[in-house]
Amino acid sequence: EFLACAAEDPRWLELAKAYASYQRLLRDAQAVDFGDQVLLAVQLLERHPDAAAAVRQRFRYVLVDEFQDTNYAQFRLLQLLATPGTNVTVVADDDQSIYKWRGAAISNVVKFLEHYPAVHTVVLTENFRSNQAILDCAYRLIRFNDPDRLEVRQGINKRLIARTPLPLREPQVHLFDTVSSEADWLARTIRSAVESGVRRPSDFAVLVRSNREADLFLRALNVAGIPWQFSGASALFAREESKMLVSCLKSLADPEESLSWYHVACSPLYRFPVKDLARVLSRAAKTHQSFRAVLERCHEDEAFAATLTEAGKGQAVALLTDVERLQELSRSHSAGQLLYRWLSDRGFLTRLGRGGSAEDAARLQTVSRFFDQLRRIEELVGGQLPDLMQHLELFLAMGNEPIEDDDAWADRVNVLTIHKAKGLEFPVVFLVGLVQGRFPTHQRRDPIELPEILIKDILPSGDYHLQEERRLFYVAMTRAKEELHLTSAYDYGGKTVRKVSQFVVEALNLGSPAPPAKTSSARELIERARVQPPLPLAARPGRVKVLRLDPHGADDYLTCPLKYRYSHILKLPVMRHHLVVYGAALHKAVEAFYKRQLLEQPMREEELLAAFGRAWSSEGFLTREHEELRLAQGRQVLSRFFARQQAAPEHPSLIEQPFKFLLDDLLIVGRWDRVDQEGENAVIIDYKSSEVREQAAADRRAKESLQLLVYALAWHTLHGRLPLRVELRFLETDLTGQAAVTDADLERARSLLRQIGQGIRDEQFSAAPDEHNCRWCAFQSICPYAFQSSQP
């Protein structure tokens, strides 16, 4: 509003109009962006004092971690939540403020001291991560940001003292003639340490200033046969399995995309003979045809066909047949369904699932993460292949970063940007590409500059960009526990000879001249091209200190240990069954209904049905007609549910409340669907969408449910008393199964959980084929042990 009314610069006026249009589009879509989550909360508390007072009463203590990374709006929210006199604590290190580019205001730390004058400052100087030599070099570096640091402004001592028994190893500087020499030396050093048994791959971290600088180092690790994981935007899509899956989708969407057809042909799906691939490519180039066209017309040219092997001809027919069939299915199937069917029909998932190696497990996890990403894209743009491909191409071009799985167990070299590495630690850290212009980077003007009157931050007396870069270097150095290697080269391409980063000189107090660069001999240059055999990947440790287990995982293990391995360890991708989609949507709608009730904001029937619609997915249904039938059925179920609630309202105490507790070395986690209070006693309720039409069957299901037993055990462990009973509410038939819970029942649950935990630790994942269980198992189509009926 200020910009629209007072701006004299037409660029500011244009910016104001663009922002207003953006906000209007958000409102029309009934959406908020990340910044609005804070801004709207601030506006609510500022404009409604009664609401602000009510919110403040909910919190006796307010604790903010990483306060140096907060922005102006977040600090304003804190001020509204914690007025002077409130118990408020912030934890901050101004030397680790590295998010200025996303709005973080380091001056919030100073403003906090001004806003809360009675504050008591506690300086934490004991460090339990790095050795003293690393800490001293990092401190020497960061002192170059004086006098704008809090240490100088507040007159405190922030010099860190190591409290670890680690040997005192000074940070090492390594200079090279070219970046290729730098990357190859790094890979050789890591491989040598791993082969000698001194280190594991996961002991190493390679920290880069930006994603694009990682490529050469990843290639060097590949050539050296060293397993790695990369946190950057291309981490998932750089994997061979992901490239294969993208090529599969492209070949379905565009018959003339020869490169994709080539990748699919030589992938593990078909494994075309190399000689045949060369002949097909040569034929395509000479005749100006696509790869697919050459395969299709192969039978018309007997002379050319005679040059191909029988295996090549067979795979050509298989590839053409598969693509044609899947393209026909694309009329009614989503891109994810098509891709899953392709992999399943070719036996790819079965082969990897049957393989017991860590390499196979890693490949499966890549495929699983790819399908997760595909599912998120389908939620945005729908599942039709053309729409998805357009978005996927944009997604790949922009370098959007997929959410990472928890691969903390993976024994691989970690390649990360420094921003990604914040909060992590590694025994050995390589900080690479340390030359002027790369680290520190050149300062660039903001693409959208704001008027000074809108800037709330207190600007430092020094160069704020250089200070931010120096803080980033400080964070990178302090990721290392035992060894820190600082590497740079004189040649990164182009005509300019690069200078060693000033931060290296500052941190290590280097004089002039710089140490001589390491050069490669002619033989070493040739040897770089030799691909090393891969280092073996370590298997997932069977003996973790605390094993995490949830009721669904426990039930899966009891049903079939192999199902548990597929679902919870390998995380095999599955296409959701329509019954799962249906049940999940009902569950979400009921959850939304009761959450509104807890807020004393009763939900109307149309809102309940709208919540059901938002949770709905078209995945897994047999036909469009089948989906419409189930959608209508779900609406009828919820209408009956709403009518019952109107006639006899229920008032739960808890809805979707998470819990966790320790049982020996098991961490049991989960959430209660619903908990009611009858006097001082709890009634634990779970909802099911399955059809149970007899009361005896409903009661039996409640009595035999391991899930309900675990819920009851959690309640007893956390609250010290047995629940009055447990219930299963069957939404389809309006039946309620009930069961009392005894101490003997809880002991049985403990015994089962211990047995399951021991089986998982001992890696006992044998198959337990059963006609009923296999029929409804999500992995039936890829499991080699699935029950096969003897009936014709």
List of domains in the chain:
32-122 (3.40.50.300), 127-162 (no CATH), 172-233+411-448+459-527 (3.40.50.300), 240-398 (1.10.486.10), 547-775 (3.90.320.10)
Averaged pLDDT of the chain: 85
* More confident of the two residues 264 and 378: 264
Per-residue pLDDT, averaged over 52-81, amounts to 90
Q: Which of 379, 388, 117, 357 is nearest to 245 (CA)?
A: 388
Q: How confident is the model at residue 410 (pLDDT cuts 50, 70, 90)?
A: low
What gap in Å lies between CA 301 and CA 287, rounded to an integer? 12
pLDDT, one tens digit per residue, over 24-48 is 998 887 788 988 999 999 999 999 9
What gap in Å lies between CA 775 and CA 769, rounded to an integer? 10
What gap in Å lies between CA 119 and CA 67, rounded to an integer? 15
Is pLDDT of 412 > 60?
yes
Residues in the chain, total: 792
Q: Note the pLDDT of residue 567.
A: 86
Query: Helical H runs in 331-430?
Result: 335-345, 348-354, 358-381, 385-398, 418-421
What gap in Å lies between CA 363 and CA 352, rounded to an integer? 8
Per-residue pLDDT, averaged over 469-497, amounts to 92
Q: Averaging pLDDT over each range in 324-333, 373-382, 583-592, 772-781, which range is the top one? A: 583-592
* More confident of the two residues 434 and 168: 434
Q: Note the pLDDT of residue 631.
A: 93
What sign for the dihedral angle of Cα 711, 714, 719, 724?
positive
Q: Note the pLDDT of residue 332.
A: 79
What gap in Å lies between CA 530 and CA 253, rounded to an integer? 37
Q: Which two tokens stand for residue 37?
A: 């989550």
pLDDT, one tens digit per residue, over 437-457 is 999 988 777 666 666 666 666
Q: Note the pLDDT of residue 203.
A: 94
Is pLDDT of 3 > 70?
no
Q: Note the pLDDT of residue 8.
A: 65
Is pLDDT of 482 > 90?
yes
Per-residue pLDDT, averaged over 703-723, amounts to 94
Per-residue pLDDT, averaged over 1-28, amounts to 75
Q: Which two tokens stand for residue 6?
A: 């007072």
- Strand, helix or coil at 274? helix
Q: What is the dihedral angle through the alpha carbons of 659, 662, 668, 674, rounded to the nearest 10 degrees?
A: -30
Per-residue pLDDT, averaged over 136-140, amounts to 96
Q: What is the percent of the chain with per-residue pLDDT over 90, rounded to a whole number?
A: 42
Q: Note the pLDDT of residue 285.
A: 87
Q: Note the pLDDT of residue 673.
A: 92
Please tell me the least confidently modeled range out of 45-59, 554-568, 572-586, 698-712: 572-586
Is pLDDT of 382 > 70?
yes
φ/ψ (deg, to 5) at 364: -65, -40
Q: How confident is the model at residue 184 (pLDDT cuts 50, 70, 90)?
A: very high
Give the Cβ contact number of residue 462 at 10 Å. 14
Q: What is the percent of the chain with per-residue pLDDT over 70, rounded to a whole number?
A: 88
Q: How confident is the model at residue 586 (pLDDT cuts 50, 70, 90)?
A: very high
Per-residue pLDDT, averaged over 96-108, amounts to 74
Q: Which of 703, 725, 716 is nearest to 668 (CA)?
A: 716
- The arrangement of strands across the sheet holding 426-431 comes to 172-178, 480-491, 426-431, 204-208, 413-417, 228-230
Q: Note the pLDDT of residue 580.
A: 85
Q: Which of 302, 304, 248 is nearest to 280 (CA)?
A: 304
What gap in Å lies between CA 67 and CA 344, rounded to an integer? 49
Start-to-end Cα distance in the chain: 74
Q: Note the pLDDT of residue 361.
A: 76
478 burial type by CB count under 10 A (0-12 exposed, 13-18 middle, 19+ buried)? buried
Q: Averaging pLDDT over each range in 257-261, 502-506, 572-576, which range is the top one? A: 502-506
Is pLDDT of 71 > 60?
yes
Q: Note the pLDDT of residue 514.
A: 55
Please tell me the least confidently modeled range out of 188-197, 600-609, 616-625, 765-774: 616-625
Q: Note the pLDDT of residue 415.
A: 92
In DSSP terms, 161 is beta-bridged to 126
Please tell me the least confidently modeled range out of 13-27, 220-234, 684-698, 750-764: 220-234
Q: What is the dihedral angle through the alpha carbons of 594, 598, 600, 602, rounded to the nearest 10 degrees?
A: 0
Per-residue pLDDT, averaged over 243-247, amounts to 90
Please tell me the least confidently modeled range out of 1-10, 703-712, 781-790: 1-10
* More confident of the two residues 118 and 521: 118
Q: How far is CA 622 from CA 576, 579, 628, in A?
A: 12, 11, 11
Cis bond before residue 440 (omega within 30° of 0): yes
Q: Which residues of 132-265 form beta strands (DSSP E)?
A: 161-162, 172-178, 204-208, 228-230
Is pLDDT of 4 > 70?
no
Residue corresponding to tokens 């182009």: 494
Q: Note the pLDDT of residue 296.
A: 86
Q: Is the pTM of this model over 0.75?
A: no
Q: What is the DSSP letter of 412?
A: S
Per-residue pLDDT, averaged over 73-93, amounts to 89
Is pLDDT of 791 > 70?
no
What gap in Å lies between CA 416 and CA 438, rounded to an integer? 16
Q: Note the pLDDT of residue 568.
A: 86
Q: Note the pLDDT of residue 408.
A: 45
pLDDT, one tens digit per residue, over 383-401 is 788 888 878 777 766 555 5
Q: How confident is the model at residue 518 (pLDDT cuts 50, 70, 90)?
A: low
Q: Note the pLDDT of residue 723.
A: 95
φ/ψ (deg, to 5) at 662: -95, 135
Cis bond before residue 147 (omega within 30° of 0): yes
Q: Which two tokens stand for residue 356?
A: 């017991």
Contact 654, 646 (CB under 8 A): no
Q: Note the pLDDT of residue 535.
A: 60
* More confident of the two residues 510 and 315: 315
Q: Note the pLDDT of residue 409.
A: 47
Q: Which residues of 525-640 form beta strands (DSSP E)?
A: 547-549
Residues 6 or more apart whose Cβ sits within 8 Å of residue 601: none
Q: What is the DSSP letter of 405?
A: P
pLDDT, one tens digit per residue, over 681-691 is 999 999 998 88
Q: How confident is the model at residue 473 (pLDDT cuts 50, 70, 90)?
A: very high
* More confident of the two residues 258 and 792: 258
Is pLDDT of 270 > 70?
yes
Please tell me the least confidently modeled range out of 96-100, 103-107, 378-382: 103-107
Q: Which two tokens stand for residue 634?
A: 């779900």
Per-residue pLDDT, averaged over 701-705, amounts to 92
pLDDT, one tens digit per residue, over 725-738 is 999 999 988 899 99
What gap in Å lies between CA 539 and CA 354, rounded to an integer? 15
Is pLDDT of 790 > 50?
no
Per-residue pLDDT, averaged over 91-110, amounts to 79
Is pLDDT of 104 > 90?
no
Q: Note the pLDDT of residue 11.
A: 75
